[in-house]
């Protein structure tokens, strides 16, 4: 099912006619292309994009939408950024890709050096991967191989809080929420992990020591079989956009140390400034044994991820048979992706994101609170450049998105949640268009 506005290109003079979708194209898309989290029987509407620049997504009908979700939290610098464009153009003239097995290149070395410098202390080894889900697979595989090479073949499971989300591949699915997550249909085929109750103390509330007790009890009971604890630091994202107290994460670090369990922090969604800190771990002043990065790493240009670990873990993984880490993505260390990531991190290092995210947080707190007046709204929560409105009942995604498009904003709700995670470069006026759009749509 498609919205009518995607077949009328007349208002978009910057888009060539041979790239406008005709009815045959639209029919093919609907019948043969599977979009994310969409039914093949009754697909959600799709809108044709002809151009993107700054915070705007341009549709073929001429609508110009303020992007409220940064293309699933990736485009932190906005679209069509000249520095990122130039990085890609310069690299493509040298080479786009070479295999990373037995070969190396400066874009990858520069990227890994920067990641080690930026991330919490102690993360000194970098494994480059294709996507966030793969980086989680790598992290879990790394933990399992580490314990096997230490002669401890009992540590083969992971513990994680409920309401978490770590990706759609099989190992990653096994540590997503088994009931309220998106993968409960696969329960019988996934490795059975250990799930603790989700943290309950909110970020801005008084810490409740009882919050961590269930986790501590489970770790005490299962620690001999646990290879690692995997958690999204401070913000549980696709599992419900829940923002919890930093003390919970600090206690996770302490429990892992006490019971010889590896701490894996999934910073794929929270990394690179989204929560107001460069990495969400910094809210608790902790460093994990293994960290997963992705999404905003390339500023939304090309899929790239990284799994970082301590030198102790890297050495431990390679101490026993087979003596190497058994993983190697075909496009690992892709030069184009590394080059644009370097350009994106260079912008991050300039430090403007700190003022930008602080300003976004202040405005979100000021403007989204009005939604609490609406009968349909259960909660509003904000951290950094994340704003969440939780409704009392599930949302009709297609209907609400149609309303948002008419208001000139692009917001992708899910479940009971309407959330925004805009590009850092958004202006107060553009951000107000998003917050006002949410209020008007829900009203």
Residues with active-site annotation: 37, 165, 266, 295
Taking Cα atoms as reference points, which of 298, 301, 278 lies closest to residue 385? 278
Residues whose CB is less than 8 angstroms from the CB of residue 134 and which lie 6 or more positions away in sequence, other chains included = 167, 169, 305, 329
- Outline where DSSP puts E strands in 273-321: 290-293, 305-309
- 131 near 199, Cβ under 8 Å? no
Residues 174 and 25: their CA atoms lie apart, in Å, by: 37
- 204 near 150, Cβ under 8 Å? no
Q: Name the strand (E) or helix (H) holding 357.
A: helix 352-368
What is the residue whose two structure tokens read 């009392």?
A: 392
Tokens standing for 281? 């771990």
Q: Name the strand (E) or helix (H) holding 306.
A: strand 305-309
Q: What number of other Cβ atoms are within 10 A of residue 89's Cβ? A: 10
Residues 97 and 336: their CA atoms lie apart, in Å, by: 7
Separate counts of helices (H) and strands (E) for the chain: 13, 16
Kindly state the greatest CA–CA separation across the chain: 67
Residues 420 and 407: their CA atoms lie apart, in Å, by: 15
Residues 52 and 309: their CA atoms lie apart, in Å, by: 36
Taking Cα atoms as reference points, which of 402, 406, 375, 404 lies closest to residue 391? 375
Residues whose CB is less than 8 angstroms from the CB of residue 433 and which lie 6 or more positions away in sequence, other chains included = 66, 407, 408, 409
Adjacent-strand bridge partners of 244 = 202
Q: Where are the alpha helices (DSSP H) in 119-245?
A: 132-149, 170-174, 213-222
Q: Where are the alpha helices (DSSP H) in 369-427?
A: 397-406
Q: How far is CA 285 from CA 109, 136, 282, 421, in A?
A: 27, 22, 4, 24
Residues 280 and 259: their CA atoms lie apart, in Å, by: 23
Residues 199 and 210: their CA atoms lie apart, in Å, by: 10
């Amino acid at each position: 099912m498609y919205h009518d506005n995607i077949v009328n290109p007349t208002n978009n003079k910057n888009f060539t006619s041979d790239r406008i979708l005709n009815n045959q194209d639209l029919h093919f898309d609907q019948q043969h292309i599977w979009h994310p989290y969409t039914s093949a029987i009754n697909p959600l509407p799709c809108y044709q994009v002809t151009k993107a620049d700054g915070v705007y997504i341009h549709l073929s009908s001429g609508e110009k939408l303020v992007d409220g979700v940064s293309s699933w939290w990736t485009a932190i610098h906005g679209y069509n950024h000249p520095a990122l464009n130039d990085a890609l153009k310069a690299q493509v003239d040298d080479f786009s890709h070479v295999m990373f097995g037995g070969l190396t290149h400066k874009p990858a070395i520069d990227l890994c050096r920067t990641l080690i410098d930026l991330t919490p202390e102690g993360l000194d080894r970098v494994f480059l991967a294709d996507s966030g889900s793969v980086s989680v697979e790598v992290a879990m595989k790394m933990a399992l191989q580490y314990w096997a090479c230490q002669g401890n073949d009992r540590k083969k499971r992971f513990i994680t809080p409920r309401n978490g989300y770590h990706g759609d591949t099989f190992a990653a699915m096994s540590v997503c929420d088994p009931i309220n997550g998106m993968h409960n249909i696969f329960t019988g085929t996934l490795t059975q992990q250990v799930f603790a109750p989700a943290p309950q103390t909110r970020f801005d509330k008084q810490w409740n020591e009882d919050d961590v007790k269930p986790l501590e009890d489970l770790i005490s009971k299962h620690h001999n079989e646990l290879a690692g604890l995997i958690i999204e630091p401070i913000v549980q994202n696709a599992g419900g956009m829940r923002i919890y107290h930093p003390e919970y994460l600090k206690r996770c670090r302490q429990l892992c140390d006490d019971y010889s369990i590896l701490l894996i922090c999934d910073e794929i969604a929270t990394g690179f400034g989204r929560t107001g800190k460069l990495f969400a771990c910094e809210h608790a002043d902790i460093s994990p044994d293994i960290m997963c990065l992705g999404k905003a790493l390339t500023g939304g240009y090309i899929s790239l991820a990284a799994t970082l670990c301590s030198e102790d873990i890297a050495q431990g993984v390679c101490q026993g048979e087979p003596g190497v880490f058994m993983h190697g993505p075909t496009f690992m260390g892709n030069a184009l992706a590394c080059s644009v990531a370097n350009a994106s991190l260079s912008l991050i290092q300039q430090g403007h994101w700190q003022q930008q995210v602080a300003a976004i947080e202040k405005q979100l707190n000021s403007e989204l609170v009005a939604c609490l007046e609406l009968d349909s709204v259960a909660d509003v929560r904000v951290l950094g450049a994340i704003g969440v409105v939780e409704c009392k009942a599930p949302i009709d995604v297609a209907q609400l998105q149609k309303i948002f498009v008419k208001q000139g904003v692009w917001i992708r709700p899910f479940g009971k949640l309407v959330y925004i995670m805009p590009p850092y470069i958004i202006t107060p006026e553009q951000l107000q268009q998003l917050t006002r759009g949410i209020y008007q749509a829900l009203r």
